[in-house]
């Protein structure tokens, strides 16, 4: 029995006692008290009190029943809300886990294809500079020494995941190997990696439906939190879950997408990270 029900019972008993005492005082002031009255008088007295007390007691009982129902209703709503919260958190956790798994998958082959074509064209048909000259020389050396290989397949074997593209979006620095052991592939690899990141970033110009799955899923995670913005405690809990699952490099890395950068939840998360990691 909870405190609300105990309070209702005490109120019921107190009301019953007060009504009985008031009725008793009024009755005996009007008719006096006589133990020697006949049985007929006693029956009439009992009938009087029964008629007097029954209506208010029924009214009080009805009110208490209603109050008990209201209490039970509130408790049921609280229980349902807690169950709903637990279900929503499990759903969100599953969404986060799915996103994390996707991060560690290789980027799509069409991105690699476009990146290789751009890399090769840049080094063989683009602006003539030291890098392109070095590549051309090493390419000739590979051919002369019969070391020429399938550069495309060798580039495709480089493990480039969604996480890599997001975490390194702002680092596109080409570190070219040097020395007598340098090959054409040594020059091609960093150029190819940069173009993979570049092709990956181009997805930000598409609508949400046409974005890469990782970008789309990231937006879905933000939208899920935004949907519960009126429930402050719940929203904060979801943001904590978000920060627990997703590393900072990825969070900062997706900012190149305009829809993410402008998302109100992303701005809250970014501000929170900035406070934790001041410059």
3-class secondary-structure state, position 161: strand
Mean of pLDDT values over 91-113: 93
Closest to 249 (Cα-Cα) out of 174, 159, 173, 163 = 163
Residue 234, token pair as written in the block: 């719940």
Entry pTM: 0.65
Residue pLDDT, tens place only, 173-185: 555 544 556 788 8
Residue 20, token pair as written in the block: 């009985």
Residue 180, token pair as written in the block: 């007598």
Mean of pLDDT values over 52-68: 73
3-class secondary-structure state, position 19: helix
| φ/ψ of residue 22, rounded to 5 | -60, -45
Q: If you ran DSSP here, which 8-state letter would residue 106 be given? A: B
Residue pLDDT, tens place only, 198-236: 888 887 666 777 788 899 999 999 999 998 888 888 888
Percent of the chain residues past pLDDT 70, beyond the cut:
80
Query: Residue 175's pLDDT is what?
Result: 53
Angle value at C-alpha 92, between 90 and 96, nearest 5 degrees = 115
- How many Cα atoms are found within 13 Å in the side-chain-facing hemisphere of 241? 22
Are the CB atoms for 188 and 123 separated by under 8 Å?
Answer: yes
Query: Residue 279's pLDDT is what?
Result: 42
- At which residue do the structure tokens 């620095």 appear? 173
Residue 243, pLDDT > 70, answer: yes
What Å distances lie between residue 52 and 24, 47, 61, 62, CA to CA? 10, 8, 15, 17
DSSP E strands, 92-186? none
């Amino acid at each position: 029995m909870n405190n609300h029900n105990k309070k209702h019972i005490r109120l019921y008993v107190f009301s019953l006692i007060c009504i009985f005492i008031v009725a008793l005082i009024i009755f005996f002031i009007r008719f006096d008290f006589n133990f020697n009255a006949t049985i007929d008088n006693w029956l009439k007295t009992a009938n009087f009190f029964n008629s007097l007390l029954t209506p208010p007691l029924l009214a009080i009982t009805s009110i208490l029943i209603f109050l008990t129902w209201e209490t039970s209703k509130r408790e049921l709503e609280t229980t349902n809300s807690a169950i709903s919260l637990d279900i929503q958190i499990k759903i969100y956790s599953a969404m986060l886990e799915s996103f994390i798994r996707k991060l560690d998958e290789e980027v799509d082959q069409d991105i690699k294809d476009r990146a290789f074509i751009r890399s090769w064209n840049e080094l063989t048909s683009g602006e003539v500079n030291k890098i392109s000259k070095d590549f051309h020389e090493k390419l000739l050396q590979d051919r002369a020494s019969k070391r020429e290989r399938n550069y495309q397949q060798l580039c495709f074997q480089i493990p480039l995941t969604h996480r890599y593209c997001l975490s390194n979006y702002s680092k596109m620095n080409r570190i070219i190997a040097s020395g007598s052991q340098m090959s054409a592939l040594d020059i091609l690899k960093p150029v190819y990696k940069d173009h993979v990141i570049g092709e990956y970033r181009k997805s930000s110009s598409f609508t949400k439906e046409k974005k890469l799955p990782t970008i789309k899923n990231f937006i879905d995670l933000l939208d899920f939190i935004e949907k519960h913005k009126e429930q402050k405690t719940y929203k904060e809990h979801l943001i904590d879950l978000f920060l627990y699952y997703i590393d900072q490099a990825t969070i900062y890395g997706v900012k190149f997408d305009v829809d993410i950068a402008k998302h109100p939840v992303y701005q809250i998360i970014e501000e929170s990270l900035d406070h934790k990691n001041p410059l």
